[in-house]
Amino acid sequence: MQLEPPTTTKPWIVSNVAGVVAMIFGFAALLAGFWTQFQGGREITQPSELRVVLPLGSVALVAGVIALARREPHHALAVGGIAMALAAPLLGWVVLVAAVAAAALLALLIIAKFH
């Protein structure tokens, strides 16, 4: 009878804890930016409420940098959290740029289809 050594694999959440924190706080910053930008009748070019968005975004940014420094297995969590945190303060501009990019892509697809 031969005994096998115990496995030392960590659960997924433990090995990616900083990335998960970055994703959660990045999503919270993006949600807060969306809520403060489009709920209160602000101009779309004004920044979101920075007193709410910046603390959440800074936690996401720090957690994302820690996740990348720790070389966690899933880099997408850290990058996604950082991207959401960076988009949150100027969410109106991000929406405008995305709309222009979508319209340009649609025009390019139509031109390519009929060319």
Residue 58 to residue 29: CA distance in whole angstroms = 9
Across the chain, mean pLDDT equals: 89
In the chain, the percentage of residues whose pLDDT exceeds 90 is 58
Tell me the three-class secondary structure of 40-91, residue by residue: CCCCCCCCCCHHHHHHHHHHHHHHHHHHHHCCCCCHHHHHHHHHHHHHCCCH
CB of 12 closer than 8 Å to CB of 67: no
**What sign does the dihedral 24-83-80-72 (CA atoms) show?**
negative
Structure confidence by residue, pLDDT tens digits, 98-107: 999 999 999 9
Structure confidence by residue, pLDDT tens digits, 2-41: 777 777 777 777 788 999 999 999 999 999 988 988 887 7
Mean pLDDT, residues 49-74: 92
Higher pLDDT, 48 or 3: 48
In the block, residue with structure tokens 């979101």: 48
Residue 67 to residue 34: CA distance in whole angstroms = 26
